[in-house]
Amino acid sequence: MLHSTPSSSFHHTTTLHPCSSPSLLSASSYSSSHHAWLPLRHFSFQTRPLRLNNLRTHNHFSLTTPKALKVNCSTSEPLKIMISGAPASGKGTQCELIVQKFGLVHISTGDLLRAEVAAGTEIGNKAKEFMYSGRLVPDEIVTAMVAERLSREDAKQRGWLLDGYPRSFSQAESLEKMQIRPDLYIVLDVPDEILIDRCVGRRLDPVTGKIYHIKFFPPESEEIKARLVTRPDDTEEKVKSRLEIYKQNAEAVSSSYSNITKKIDGSRSKEEVFKEVESLLSQLQQNKEIQRTLGKSILNTKKGSGSSSQDTWRGIPTRLNNIPHSREIRKYFYNDVIQATQRAVNDGRTRLKVDINIPELNPEMDVYRIGTLMELVRGLALSFADDGKRVKVCVQGSMGEGALAGMPLQLAGSRKILEFMDWGDYGAKGTFINIGSIGAAEVEEQDDLYILVAPQNAVGNCIIDNLRAMTNAAEHRPVILINARLKDLPGSSGIMQTMGRDQRLKYAASFESCYFFRLLYYAGTQYPIMGAIRMSYPYRYELYKRVDEPSGKEKYVILSTFPERPTTDEINDTFEGKPRNETRKGSGIWGFLSGIL
Ligand code: AP5
């Protein structure tokens, strides 16, 4: 039997993570090309100075900005790979081979910067002193270059291979904000002593752009040998400094991609290394093809006639029972909620609700993480604020007095937390974001949208009247309930409140789901997860089964989709593989699902 109200006895403290990361840069008109040493047929200096003062910075987790930079992640899209590793670990060498075989657009920040230096641009002049001393070039310069390059059509069409970026946690954050994520994060692992040897012996051919090594890959002729150049940052002293900087940042960067990281032993011959890389990429390509075929059938069944697709959805993350959830998993869900809610609001929907009960956000259990909920609310609020909307985030206040204060335990102190949260450095709080309570008195002329944090009835007190008054006052403006619990609770005397119950339930049902995510378990258990239901506006409800793979990993496989939230019988039948209209069975292993939703 499955049920969908997971609980857990795990405990942890959720830290509030400021969403701040300094720089997210919009695309400028800047244009650069590849390798400073590439021959002219590969290489054109269409470089125009980057106008740093034109770059707009954001501090929010934003879906809508910068629109031009959005990298489409549809299931049919080409490969998106990041390659990382210490200086001279062989990134450039492997990239040459990958490009030859897979035709991806190679974007190397080192090459882009060297091209700027060679062209003597403003950026080049700024970058030079950092590069030559083995330090990292400031984020705002590098991020703008990468964002611009990724936004070009060839990268979207052919896929990309990002080399040397992100190199710091804030760079990784910038990519996240732009919703740019690779399919695979390759780390070339090479011991330090080899690295120094490789760097010091590296030579570059300014005519062909080819990478040589005086010992390992000597040039083919005396003529080539005579024209080889050494990179100014390839001295032993500078390599050591670069290596140190790499080590300081490596862990923070790779933590952003932990579930898609593949570490490869880069100390072997370049052919051996490439064999492993090639096999990984080929496998990935095959998987994409399978997903594309599957994706077609999912998209064909989507609700409504809108043309938008779930093009940024990456499948359900795994290891959801591991608590605390990784930052990545939390962000994943925030992102999923934000996209769905934005679509619903953009479609003119005004009474919306989000229900999400991953263990960290399950409002019914002791693991209900107020910090995680607040992070979600912040992400959502800022995504609207980024669009210039004035958002009021409201938490219900006390509904009673003394021992019967009527404040649900989970919400105690949440208003204070909201007040103290980091809402960004750009003065969003107080202008675009305001904090209030649930009630008609909070509705003000200038508000554009309301986000209500987990409104819920408490024993003996019903939030619905306050809520109704507020939504009436809000009129046509969107009101979004996050993890509301509007079912009737017994009164303090233990007797169900019956007065006006029908109207209350009707009112509660008037909110349309714009996002729904629920894990499925056997009834009465909290482990293992059996599956999940997900709905992201305007698409259908999707029913997934969790499958353990022989490798020890797990995955979620879609079983079916539904126009409305599936009933317990429908879930049971689908898990049993019954055709949709078959008579429902009342018993059996899946048959005693009851009251799960
Ligand atoms: P960048 O050019 O990216 O330098 P790097 O990361 O230090 O990497 P390298 O180019 O030195 O090495 P590689 O791993 O590509 O190795 P390669 O294949 O050439 O960046 C340069 C500078 O730009 C940075 O220091 C920084 O200042 C700035 N910058 C760049 N990105 C930035 C960012 N995101 N943010 C801020 N600043 C940034 O191989 C090395 C040698 O080994 C070659 O001679 C090769 O022939 C040989 N070799 C390769 N593979 C093998 C093998 N398997 N066996 C034997 N030899 C091999």
Instruction: Transcribe 145-167 into DSSP letters.
Output: HHHHHHTSHHHHHH-EEEES---
Q: What is the pTM of this model?
A: 0.48
Atom of ligand 1 nearest to the CA of 134: 25
- Contact status, residue 555 vs residue 396, Cβ threshold 8 Å: no
Query: Among this protein's residues, is 91 annotated catalytic?
Result: yes
d(CA 109, CA 95): 13
Whole-number pLDDT of residue 315: 79
Query: Among the options 70, 202, 485, 534, which is catalytic?
Result: 202
d(CA 140, CA 58): 12
Confidence check: pLDDT of 588 > 60: no
Instruction: Write the pLDDT tens digit of every residue in 456-492.
Output: 877 666 788 888 999 999 999 999 999 888 876 655 5
DSSP 8-state secondary structure symbol assigned to residue 229: B
Instruction: Write the pLDDT tens digit of every residue in 500-543.
Output: 677 778 888 899 999 999 999 887 777 788 999 999 998 889 99
Confidence check: pLDDT of 86 > 50: yes
Whole-number pLDDT of residue 581: 55
DSSP 289-305: HHHHHHHHHHHHT-SSS
Per-residue pLDDT band for 205 (boundaries 50, 70, 90) equals very high
- Contact status, residue 94 vs residue 274, Cβ threshold 8 Å: yes
- Contact status, residue 461 vs residue 406, Cβ threshold 8 Å: yes
Confidence check: pLDDT of 153 > 70: yes
Which amino acid, one-letter code, is at 125? N
Instruction: Write the pLDDT tens digit of every residue in 325-374.
Output: 888 888 889 989 999 999 999 989 999 999 998 888 876 665 567 788 88
* Six token digits for residue 140: 């705002």
d(CA 369, CA 327): 13
- Contact status, residue 462 vs residue 494, Cβ threshold 8 Å: no
Residue that is written with structure tokens 């190679």 in the block: 106
Higher-pLDDT residue of 579, 256: 256
Confidence check: pLDDT of 452 > 50: yes
d(CA 442, CA 390): 13
Across 72-76, 91-95, 566-570, least confident range: 72-76
Which amino acid, one-letter code, is at 17? H
Confidence check: pLDDT of 1 > 60: no
In testing the pocket of ligand 1, which one of 34, 211, 212, 239 has its CB within 8 Å of the most ligand atoms?
211
Would you tell me the crossing angle of helices 464-474 and 501-509 to the nearest 10 degrees? Answer: 50
Query: Among this protein's residues, is 202 annotated catalytic?
Result: yes
Centre of ligand 1 to C-alpha 145, Å, is 18
Whether the CB of 531 sits within 6 Å of ligand 1: no
In testing the pocket of ligand 1, which one of 32, 198, 220, 237 has its CB within 8 Å of the most ligand atoms?
198
Whole-number pLDDT of residue 141: 92
Query: Once rounded to an integer, what is the mean pLDDT over residues 307-314?
Result: 46
Atom of ligand 1 nearest to the CA of 270: 53
Instruction: Write the pLDDT tens digit of every residue in 532-586.
Output: 999 999 888 999 999 988 888 888 888 888 889 999 989 988 888 776 654 433 3
Average pLDDT taken over every residue of the chain: 76
- In this structure, the residue with its CA closest to atom 43 of ligand 1 is 202
Q: What ranges in 368-517 are assigned the alpha helix state H?
A: 370-385, 414-420, 464-474, 501-509
Instruction: Write the pLDDT tens digit of every residue in 399-411.
Output: 555 544 556 666 6
Task: State CA 469 to chain mean position distance.
Answer: 36
Query: Among the options 167, 331, 415, 429, which is catalytic?
Result: 167
Whole-number pLDDT of residue 422: 85
Whole-number pLDDT of residue 314: 66
Whole-number pLDDT of residue 31: 29
Atom of ligand 1 nearest to the CA of 239: 7
Whole-number pLDDT of residue 400: 52
Confidence check: pLDDT of 496 > 80: no
Per-residue pLDDT band for 71 (boundaries 50, 70, 90) equals very low
Among candidates 571, 366, 352, 379, which has minimal Cα distance to 483?
Answer: 352
Query: Among this protein's residues, is 231 annotated catalytic?
Result: yes
d(CA 125, CA 198): 27
Whole-number pLDDT of residue 95: 96
DSSP 8-state secondary structure symbol assigned to residue 216: T
Query: Once rounded to an integer, what is the mean pLDDT over residues 138-145?
Result: 92
Centre of ligand 1 to C-alpha 92, Å, is 6
Centre of ligand 1 to C-alpha 189, Å, is 13
Higher-pLDDT residue of 316, 100: 100
Centre of ligand 1 to C-alpha 88, Å, is 4
Higher-pLDDT residue of 293, 80: 80
- Contact status, residue 184 vs residue 284, Cβ threshold 8 Å: yes
d(CA 136, CA 143): 12
Rg (CA), the chain: 27
Query: Among the options 70, 91, 210, 288, which is catalytic?
Result: 91
Neighbours of 282 (CB within 10 A): 13
* Six token digits for residue 326: 């990784």
Residue that is written with structure tokens 């378990």 in the block: 521
Per-residue pLDDT band for 125 (boundaries 50, 70, 90) equals very high
Whether the CB of 211 sits within 6 Å of ligand 1: yes
Query: Once rounded to an integer, what is the mean pLDDT over residues 196-214?
Result: 92
Whether the CB of 109 sits within 6 Å of ligand 1: yes
Neighbours of 188 (CB within 10 A): 21
Query: Among this protein's residues, is 41 annotated catalytic?
Result: no
Higher-pLDDT residue of 405, 308: 405
Whether the CB of 169 sits within 6 Å of ligand 1: no
- In this structure, the residue with its CA closest to atom 48 of ligand 1 is 90
Higher-pLDDT residue of 3, 24: 3
Query: Among this protein's residues, is 167 annotated catalytic?
Result: yes
Whether the CB of 92 sits within 6 Å of ligand 1: yes
Q: Mention every residue, 6+ apart, whose C-beta is less than 8 A from residue 129.
A: none
Whole-number pLDDT of residue 466: 86
Centre of ligand 1 to C-alpha 39, Å, is 19
